[in-house]
Structure 1
C-alpha cells in the first residue's frame, strides 16, 4: 500500500512537472509543423535550444525578462526563416534532412569550448544565474505551500511559480492552436497537408503559409526550451536528437493533428516511464535488473508500445484516421 501511495504521488509530481510542460509546449509546435501542415521537422530540439539560449543569454546580458522573451521569440523565428527559405519549396524529406543537420549544428556550436563564456560550453548554464528576473515577477508569498500531497516552495528553483507559468503557457498555446486551426488560415494549412497542389491552384501562396507555420511552431518550441531550462540548467546535450525523437513519440502517442494530443502524449510518456522504472525497482531484484538496466528496459518497452500503437492505431489515442493523409 505504501508503494502504491508513493507511486501515485510520484505520478502526480511528474504530470505537473515543468519538464513535462516544456515537452508539451515543444510538441504543440511540432504538431503545427507536421500534424496540421505536413512539414517533416526532425529538429524541433534545435528550436528549443535557440529559444532557450536566446532568453538565457539576453537575461544574463542585462536586457530584462520581457525583452529577453522577445529576443527568444525573434531568434526562433529567424531560425525558422533560415531553414525554410531553401527547403520549403521542396518535398518534406528535404526539410527533414535540413532540420536534423541544423539542430545538430546549433547543439555542437553551443558545446564549443571557445563559446563557454557565452553558452557555458558542454556544461551549459545553471539556472540560478538567470532565474532572478523570473523569480522577481512571482506574486506568491514567501514560504512553502502544500496542495494535493505536493509540497514545494512558492518561489525558488523547484517551486510552484515555475509550474504555474509553465502550465499557464500550455493552456495559452492550446487555446491559440485551437483558434488558429478553426480559422481560414488553419484550414489552408490542412489543405496544404492533404494536397498542396490543389491549394496552390486556388491561388494561395503555399510557401508563405508553410513559412508562417514553421515560424509559429518554432517559437512555441523556443518557449519549451525556456521552460525546460528553469528547473536546473540549459544544456546543449539536454536538447539533442533524443529530445526530438521523444517529441515525435509524444505527438504520435497523443495523436497528430489534434489539439490535446501533445498534452496527453507528454503526460503518458513520462508517467509510463515512471511506472515501469518504479515497478521494476520495487519488485525485480537488483541481481536481475539494476537501476541502469531498468532505465534501458523502460525505453525498450516504450519503443515497443509505440511500434504497436503505430501498427494498430496509427492516428494515436485522440487522432482521427481521416487526418492521416499527409502530402509529404
Structure 2
C-alpha cells in the first residue's frame, strides 16, 4: 500500500475543505442555529428550511431579474417571513411545538421545491443549475474573468464557478455574521436570551416580552441561515433535496461538537465535523478499495457520525468550547 499517496491525498482534501465556500455556508447556518438553540433554547429542527427559502428567493430573483443585490435582499426577506410564519403561532407555546412546526415546514418547502408542477420555476427534482443565477455575482468580481490562481496543490479559477472570488466573498460573509453574533450575545439583549433559555417565567416576571424575544431570535437566526443558503447554492447548484433533514442533522452535530452558546463553537464544530468525515471517507476508500463501494462508504460514515453524536451528548454535552455550568444538551 502506498501510504505516502494516502497521506498526501488526505492532507490535500483537508486543506481544500478549510478554504471552501461550502464549509463557510455551513458555519453561517450553524451560527444562526446557535442563536436559536444555544442562546435562546428554541428547538428548531428545520434550519435547512430557512436555508432553502433563502436559496430559492435568491436564485429565482437573480434568474428572472439579473440583479444580485435584489436577490440577496429577497433571500433575507424570505428568511424573515419564514421565521414569522413559523414563530408567531407557536412561540407562545412551549418548546416541543416549535420543533414539530419547523420540522414539518422545512419538509413542506423541500417537497414544494421538488414538485413537478412548479418545475418551470423551481426546476423540480433537478433544481436550478448554478449558471442560471451566478452570472451577476461573477460580474461583481474584482478579479479577471478567466484564468486561475494556484496556492500549493489548490488551483481554482479567479471568478468563475468554484472560484477564489466566491471563497473571498464567503469568508467576508462569515466574518460579518460572526461579528454580529458576538455583538448581539454580549449585549443586554443577548443576556435576556440566556434568561429565556434558563427560565422564561423569571424573565416574564421582570416585565419582558418573552414571545417578542423568541421571535427576534428566530428571525435573526433564520436570516443567518438564509444567508448561508445563498452561499451554499453559489458554491454548488440549487436542489431542494440537498437541503433536507440530513442538513439540519449535520448542523446540530457541528453546533453540539463545538459547543452551543459559545461564539466560536459553531466554527470549530463545523471544521472538526467535516475533518472527521473526510478522514473516514478517505480511509475507507484507501483501506477498503475493492471491498467497500462508495455507497457503502457513505452509509458507514453516517454510522460513525451517529455513534459519535450519541457519545458526545452522553459524555460531553456542552461540546468542546462550552461551559457545562451554563449549558448542556437541553430541549
Query: How high is the TM-score relative to the length of structure 2?
Result: 0.96
Match 2:189 to one of 162, 185, 191: 185
Q: In the alignment, is the contact (CA less than 8 A) between 1:195 and 1:327 conserved in 2?
A: no
Q: Residues 285 and 133 from structure 1, CA distance in 2 versus in 1: closer, same or farther, beyond 3 angstroms?
A: closer
**Contact 2:317–2:329 (CA under 8 A) maintained in structure 1:** no
Alignment partner of 2:163 out of 156, 159, 163:
159
The CA deviation string for residues 56-92 of structure 1, in whole angstroms up to 9 with x for no partner, is 1111121511111111101110010010111001111
Paired position in structure 2 for 1:223 = 227
- Runs of 4 or more off by more than 4 Å in structure 1? 325-328
Closer/same/farther in 2, CA of residues 326 and 283 from structure 1, 3 Å limit: closer
CA contact under 8 A between 1:194 and 1:327: conserved in structure 2? no
Runs of 5+ unmatched residues, structure 2: none
Q: How many angstroms apart in 2 are the aligned matches of 1:72 and 1:232? A: 17
- Structure 1 residue corresponding to 2:27, chosen from 20, 24, 28: 24
CA offsets 1:242-294 (integer angstroms, 9 cap, x no match): 1111111111111111111111111111111111111121122423x222212
User: Which of 313, 317, 321 is equivalent to 2:316?
Assistant: 313
State which of 171, 174, 190 in structure 1 corresponds to 2:175: 171
Q: Between 60-69 and 38-47, report the one with greater CA deviation.
A: 60-69
Name which of 2, 5, 11 aligns with 2:5: 2
For 2:18 and 2:274, how far apart are their aligned partners in 1? 8
3-state SS in 2 of match to 1:193: helix
Cα deviations across residues 98-145 of structure 1 (Å, max 9, x unaligned)? 000111111111111111111111110000110000000000124211
Contact residue 11 and residue 274 of structure 1 kept, 8 A? yes
Residue 3 of structure 1, CA deviation: 2.0
Q: Which residue of 2 aligns with 1:57?
A: 60
Tell me which residue corresponds to 1:73: 76
Q: Give 5+ residue unaligned stretches, structure 1.
A: none
Is contact 1:192-1:327 (8 Å) kept? no
Q: Which moved more, 1:69-78 or 1:276-285?
A: 276-285
Aligned-residue Cα RMSD (Å) equals 1.3
Q: CA deviation at 1:33?
A: 0.3
CA distance in 2, matches of 1:265, 1:325: 15
Are the aligned partners of 1:253 and 1:317 in contact in 2 as well (CA < 8 Å)? yes
Asked if the contact 1:196–1:327 (Cα under 8 Å) also holds between the matched residues in 2, the reply is no
Q: Is the 8 A contact 1:15 1:270 kept in 2?
A: no
